[in-house]
A and B are shown apart, each in its own frame.
Chain A
Amino acid sequence: MDCTKSIFAGKPVDFEVIDVHVHYGDAGTYQLCGSEAEGIVHTMGRLGMDLCCCCGNSAASDWYYINENVAKGMDRYPDKLKGYVVVNPFYEDLDPAFWFERSPGFIGLKVLACVQGDLPLDHPRYHRFYEYADRHNLPVLVHTWIAREVNEMFRMAQKYPNARFICAHSALTNRPAKEALIEGMKICDNVVADTAISEIYDGALEWIADKIGTDRLVYGSDFITFECSHILGRVAMSKLTDDDKEKIFSRNAKQWLKL
């Protein structure tokens, strides 16, 4: 497939695209356009994206509000949007089961510890959520950035082998985080990494794909935190084979998320 040709024509690439890392709702701290369901679906149509897996923005604040917001969006677009329940370690009344009953669109959990008191990802307060995912064989999208966070996530992945972890960002952040990811993946097979990062250089995706294999990469863009066309284009115009691109854009996600 000639992705470059499609992109230069301003047309969607000829791959099914499942985005495993999408934010939903205003962040509050900076200006955003199209952050609710209609804006997300509009961008999906423009770029030919098939499915977006969303977590509520403002994870730092009211967990009921943001999860309900995502649930309402999924009610409106059940074929376009799926969701992760954003967990919060400080509220014992946050029961993941409630949300899976609330909407069939919820497919997993999201952990974003850096905006929730910066607890370690393996802090005991998070364990009940990992246990839940382990018990129900659910995906857990985990925000990581630095090596410490990657290592914490792998400790949890080892402890809860039936949970299916998606390591966000760190395949493309900094050298120590990437090294931690590469080492962790050698001993833990219930982890994949996503492609989400706002600023990236050419060659980075090919490099990490060579180290961890394209079977363990899933397409995630982090939009609407920021635009996603440049990330989609970076994957599509990479030097990877069409087969590898297809795995990253959708095939791996279907398997990992049981879609």
Chain B
Amino acid sequence: MRFIDASCRLGMPAAPGEGMPWKTEEILELMDRCHIEQAFAYHIVARDGEVEDGNGLLMEEIKKDSRLQPQWCAMPATFREFLHADALGDAMKKNGVKTLRIAPKGFAHSAMPYAMKELMDFAAQSRVPVFFDYGEAVGDALYDLCSAYPDVKFVVTNTAYALNRFLGPVLDACPNLYVGTGNYVPHQGLETFCRYYSADRLIFNTNLPFGSATAAVSLVCLANISKEEKEKIACGNMERLLSEVRL
């Protein structure tokens, strides 16, 4: 089975776990072990708030291997801390960037249209999938975000095991929400998700290096779902989202 990792992280963590393989070469070695053909990565410096510098560091880092693809962090252009939509589109096209990551809580800005409309309009028009960690939009905030921008395809990553009662109603109400499988670990979670919402809305990711690639591939491979469903989750759904991007 082919895997595409829809979201992982590159760069030096402030507090790496004991034995954590965070260097790019170590992540590439894990990709080999886990049959991960491609990984969409963002840079830790960008995620820590130095967005443009971090995105630049990412472009340098991914030159080490063509299997690494860029995922830029983004924020509203307020105070000219980040690119306006037109310039962002040009820069993404020039650099071959097809996915974005937002962090409203991490970057301390509102996720509502009065603050993020321009960025989200751009994502909707260009059909660029927008990633964010569950911690950025917990509970009602998840619904607020997805329903505020119904034309944006959102992928929530870095979830957990105790969120289904929140997640389910949002999935019902917001067909534009997809779920990253990295650490989406309710018991029989993938089986239940496929039964209620279909495999089409699950996107494989690892959350490397803070997540585990071996755990992530095992979760999908050992799930009690069909081979076709596994293939959609492993790579098919992400390839479909990427094929729809218009920059």
Q: Which residues of B contact A35 (CB under 8 A)?
A: 187
Q: Which residues of A contact B189 (CB under 8 A)?
A: 33, 226-227
Distance in Å from the Cβ of A174 to the closest Cβ of chain B?
Answer: 9
Whether the pair B212, A201 counts as a contact (CB closer than 8 A) is yes
Q: In B132-163, which residues have CB < 8 Å from any A CB?
A: 160-163
Whether the pair A178, B1 counts as a contact (CB closer than 8 A) is no
B residues with CB within 8 A of A: 1, 17-21, 30, 33-35, 160-165, 168, 183, 185-192, 208-219, 221-224, 227, 230
Whether the pair B163, A227 counts as a contact (CB closer than 8 A) is no
Inter-chain CA distance A199–B186, complex, in Å, is 12
Q: Which residues of B contact A226 (CB under 8 A)?
A: 161, 185-187, 189
Whether the pair B223, A229 counts as a contact (CB closer than 8 A) is yes
Distance in Å from the Cβ of B64 to the closest Cβ of chain A?
Answer: 19
Is there a chain B Cβ closer than 8 Å to A52's Cβ?
Answer: no
Whether the pair A7, B163 counts as a contact (CB closer than 8 A) is no
Inter-chain CA distance A234–B163, complex, in Å, is 23
Q: In A6-52, which residues have CB < 8 Å from any B CB?
A: 7-10, 29-35, 39, 43, 46-47
Set A175, A223, A233: member contacting B218, Cβ < 8 A = A233
Inter-chain CA distance A203–B165, complex, in Å, is 32
Distance in Å from the Cβ of B124 to the closest Cβ of chain A?
Answer: 31
Residue among A34, A202, A224, A231 with the most chain B CB within 10 A? A202
Whether the pair A202, B187 counts as a contact (CB closer than 8 A) is no
Set A4, A34, A198: member contacting B185, Cβ < 8 A = A198
Q: Which residues of B contact A236 (CB under 8 A)?
A: 218
Is there a chain B Cβ closer than 8 Å to A230's Cβ?
Answer: yes
Set B183, B187, B217: member contacting A7, Cβ < 8 A = B217
Q: In A151-183, which residues have CB < 8 Å from any B CB?
A: 175, 178
Whether the pair A200, B215 counts as a contact (CB closer than 8 A) is yes
Set B18, B20, B214: member contacting A178, Cβ < 8 A = B18
Whether the pair A32, B186 counts as a contact (CB closer than 8 A) is yes
Whether the pair A175, B222 counts as a contact (CB closer than 8 A) is no
Inter-chain CA distance A237–B160, complex, in Å, is 22
Inter-chain CA distance A237–B216, complex, in Å, is 11
Whether the pair B163, A206 counts as a contact (CB closer than 8 A) is no
Whether the pair B187, A230 counts as a contact (CB closer than 8 A) is no
Residue of A nearest to B168 (CB): A31
Q: Which residues of B contact A150 (CB under 8 A)?
A: none
Whether the pair A207, B19 counts as a contact (CB closer than 8 A) is yes
Whether the pair B221, A10 counts as a contact (CB closer than 8 A) is yes
Is there a chain B Cβ closer than 8 Å to A204's Cβ?
Answer: yes
Q: A4-B33, A31-B186, A35-B187 are in contact. Are A201 and B20 (CB under 8 A)?
A: yes
Contacts across chains A and B counted by CB atoms under 8 Å: 138
Residue of B nearest to A31 (CB): B164
Q: A30-B161, A224-B187, A227-B185 are in contact. Are A199 and B217 (CB under 8 A)?
A: no
Q: A10-B222, A202-B21, A203-B20 are in contact. Are A227 and B188 (CB under 8 A)?
A: yes
Residue of B nearest to A46 (CB): B224
Q: A33-B186, A39-B187, A198-B160 are in contact. List 12 more A-B contacts (CB 8 A).
A: A31-B168, A34-B188, A43-B187, A46-B224, A175-B17, A203-B17, A204-B19, A227-B190, A233-B221, A234-B214, A234-B215, A237-B214
Whether the pair A47, B222 counts as a contact (CB closer than 8 A) is yes
Q: A7-B221, A230-B219 are in contact. Are A175 and B18 (CB under 8 A)?
A: yes
Residue of A nearest to B192 (CB): A33
Whether the pair A202, B212 counts as a contact (CB closer than 8 A) is yes
Whether the pair B192, A232 counts as a contact (CB closer than 8 A) is no
Distance in Å from the Cβ of B101 to the closest Cβ of chain A?
Answer: 19
Residue of B nearest to A30 (CB): B162
Residue of A nearest to B183 (CB): A199
Inter-chain CA distance A43–B184, complex, in Å, is 17
Inter-chain CA distance A203–B160, complex, in Å, is 20
Distance in Å from the Cβ of A183 to the closest Cβ of chain B?
Answer: 14
Taken residue by residue from 195 to 222, chain A's Cβ proximity to chain B (1 for < 8 Å, 0 otherwise) reads as 0001111111011100000000000000
Q: Can you spell out 19 A-B residue pairs with CB atoms less than 8 angstroms apart?
A: A4-B33, A7-B218, A8-B1, A29-B162, A30-B161, A30-B164, A31-B164, A33-B188, A34-B188, A43-B188, A198-B160, A204-B17, A223-B187, A229-B222, A231-B215, A232-B222, A234-B218, A237-B214, A237-B218
Is there a chain B Cβ closer than 8 Å to A225's Cβ?
Answer: yes
Inter-chain CA distance A9–B222, complex, in Å, is 8
Is there a chain B Cβ closer than 8 Å to A238's Cβ?
Answer: yes
Q: Which residues of A contact B208 (CB under 8 A)?
A: 201-202
Inter-chain CA distance A236–B208, complex, in Å, is 18
Residue of A nearest to B222 (CB): A229
